[in-house]
Structures are given as structure tokens and as C-alpha cells.
Amino acid sequence: MSRLRRSVLEIVANSPLGQNMLRLGRIFFELFAQPPDMHVHRADLAADVVAPDRVEQRLARIYAVGIAHQKLHEVEFLRRQIDRHAVAQRDAPLGVERDAAMLGKKPEELKLISCHLGNGSSVTAVDGGKSVDTSMGFTPLAGLPMGTRAGDLDAGILQYLMNKYDMNIDTMLDILNKKSGVQGVSGVSSDFRDLENAHKEGNERAGLAVDMFNYGVKKLIGAYAAAMGGVDAIIFTAGVGENSASQRLDIASGLEFMGVKMDAEANNVRGKEAVISAADSKVKVLLIPTNEELMIAMDTASIVKG
């Protein structure tokens, strides 16, 4: 795609009206503009950036589910959806290039942990420009507790709750997808701004929901640093990641042992690219706004045009 077209798309995608136009355009494009035998499925994901040759990725792909006659490749298939959610959330590979550019390095030289924290949330480990693990799983229900999704839980709880409340699996999953997460814990809202306000007004459950979410992100950062054998930079993106200085601080606090040192003043920023770690922080912390619509539109256009 020419630079001029890229720039035009970027301008369009940066305005609210433009973003809606892009959404609509995408739908029409998918419905009408392609030859009947061609279907470009570029959901908010980037399967091209995963690293199938990496041992960590193989391990990250496996669900330890034992079903009679099931072969290892079938077990792996269950978690293969990892490709579908990987880095997704943010705009790899362009996003990874952007992160690397901000650090003055090439993507191949970096171990990154990308925290996409919004209504849907996930954390992704990116080693050498490739995603090696991500917190979402067979479906986006896995990983962090989100706006309304429960995130990871002990599967045993399904049987307990279904028996206790006489629910079938569809009702159970509906609750886990649409009524759980910080909404379920707080009983207030799925919107983190509402939770912050409610907490300030003394609602303990709202505070608990935010703390639980932040704790989940912190644990994943630790886990992925261990999986990659280190981390050069942590990236915050999406609604919460870009806007909530207090949540970013809370997530990073306690990570000093692994070389993360925030700059409270630099962190006092929202919605724009910034380095928010201290100058002497061994691990850099970046804020990089996400722009999923633009990336989806650009990827789709370049795939269709060949």
C-alpha cells in the first residue's frame, strides 16, 4: 500500500467518525467487494505473528484435557486458538515494530509483554517479534477477568454452580461471558471509570474488582517474563491501559525486583505514546495507543490486493 494511502487511512482512522466509517466499510467490504471464493478473515488478531517453531509456544498451546482416543495434536488444537487471539488485541506486527522503534531497537532484539487492557483484556508475550504466549485461550473467555468475562477459573466450579442454581451449560456460559468479570465482582459496572468513582464513594466491591483485575495483570507479567527468560519492555494499551494512570502504577508496583521502575510524573499521561518508566528502569514501560480498526482495514486491503 502506498504511503499516501496509508496516511489517508491513518487520518480517517484517527477521527471518531472515521472509525465508524472504517467499521462500516469493513462490513461492506467483507460482504460485497471480494470475489465469491475469497474470504479474508482478519478479525482482531494476527496469526502471522505467532512463533510455531518455538518450544514455549508449543507448550502454551496445550490443554491437559484427557478424552479417550484423543491424540496429542487434538489436544493442541484446543488451545490453537491462541493464534487467533495472539497480539491481537494490539496491532502486531505493526504494533511490535512501533514498540521496537520507540526503544530504538529491532523487534527481533526484544522481549515484550503487551498488556491490552480494555473491556476485553489480555496479556501477550512477544519474543523477537513473535507472540509466544497469550492469556486468551480456546475462546476469549480465558485469562484475565474482564469487563463482563470471568477469565480463568477452576472448571470444577461449573459443576458446583450448575448444580446449586439448577443451570444448564448455556446459561452458565452466558453468565461467565456477559455478567461476570469486574461487573460481576463489583455489582456496579463493567466500566472501570464507574468502578473508580464508586470506590471513591466507598463501594468496597468496586475497589476489590479493580484490585483483582490489576493483580491478574501483574501475575501474567511475571509469568511471561519467566516464560521468555526476561523482558525488555512492558506495553500498556487499550481503554484502561491508555487512560488509567492509577491502574498502571498499581500493576507495576511490586515489579521493582525484576527491574521495573515507574516514573509517576511521566505516567500521568493518557492516550498518547509515551515512555512511562524512570530513565534508569531496566525494563522500559511504554504507553502505546491501540488502533485496531486501522490495522484491520490495512491488513484486509493488502491481503485482497495481494
Minimum CB separation of residue 246 from ligand AMP in Å reads 8
Minimum CB separation of residue 101 from ligand AMP in Å reads 22
Asked if residue 242 lies in contact with residue 157, where contact means CB atoms within 8 angstroms, the answer is no
Minimum CB separation of residue 83 from ligand AMP in Å reads 21
Nearer to ligand AMP, 42 or 199 (CB): 199
Nearer to ligand AMP, 8 or 264 (CB): 264
Nearer to ligand AMP, 23 or 193 (CB): 193
Minimum CB separation of residue 56 from ligand AMP in Å reads 27
Minimum CB separation of residue 140 from ligand AMP in Å reads 12
Minimum CB separation of residue 279 from ligand AMP in Å reads 26
Nearer to ligand AMP, 88 or 227 (CB): 88
CA-based nearest residue to 272, from 286, 260, 252:
286
Number of residue whose CB is nearest ligand AMP: 239
Binding site residues, ligand AMP, CB under 6 A: 118-120, 147, 191-193, 238-240, 243-244
Minimum CB separation of residue 119 from ligand AMP in Å reads 4
Nearer to ligand AMP, 120 or 129 (CB): 120
Nearer to ligand AMP, 5 or 193 (CB): 193
Nearer to ligand AMP, 210 or 297 (CB): 210
**CA separation for the pair 103, 128 (Å, rounded):** 14
